[in-house]
Amino acid sequence: MNWLHRNAEMVPWLKSKDSDVRGFAAEALARIGATRHAGAVAELLKDENGGVRTKALNSLDWLGAHEFSDEIGAMLKDELYVNRLIALCIFNSHRIRDSSDQIAPLLRDDDNLLRNMAVRAIGATGGMEAPPKGSDPAPCVKFATEGV
């Protein structure tokens, strides 16, 4: 049996009772480029273990799984700081369009790095809707300070 068929054998490990096994299975699938199993990896974004969610995010990044932008966007609200940061980095580096609405609330985050990354990600993904001519030239700044 060749390796391409054997990668399907790793998928059941994504549901292991052991959180380390779930995380490593996601990482292994990503490292071998098993894009057809990206959906199963994306399911781990709902895992109760924050470390598993982190490995799932990194794995989706490696797989270039843009079709899971809604699931990645949900991670912008994750309890773990690192997961919010990774999600922003994915939006930024892959320039995933139509994600500005998901990113915009982070423009008001208490953390300076998250705010900065949110501005960069919105710029990389095509930005927010342009303001009418003659209005405030910095809508991201206005949104961040006034919530408008």
Cβ atoms of residues 100 and 125 within 8 Å: yes
* Distance (Å, whole) CA 32 – CA 1: 16
33 DSSP 8-state letter: T
Q: Model pTM greater than 0.85?
A: no
pLDDT digits (tens, 9 = 90+) for 38-95: 999 999 999 999 999 999 999 999 998 878 988 999 999 999 999 999 999 888 887 7
pLDDT digits (tens, 9 = 90+) for 10-28: 899 999 999 999 999 999 9
Buried/exposed code over 60-93 (b: 16+ C-beta within 10 A; e: otherwise): bbbbebbebbebbbebbebeeeebbbbbbbbbbe
Cβ atoms of residues 144 and 108 within 8 Å: yes
* Distance (Å, whole) CA 31 – CA 27: 6
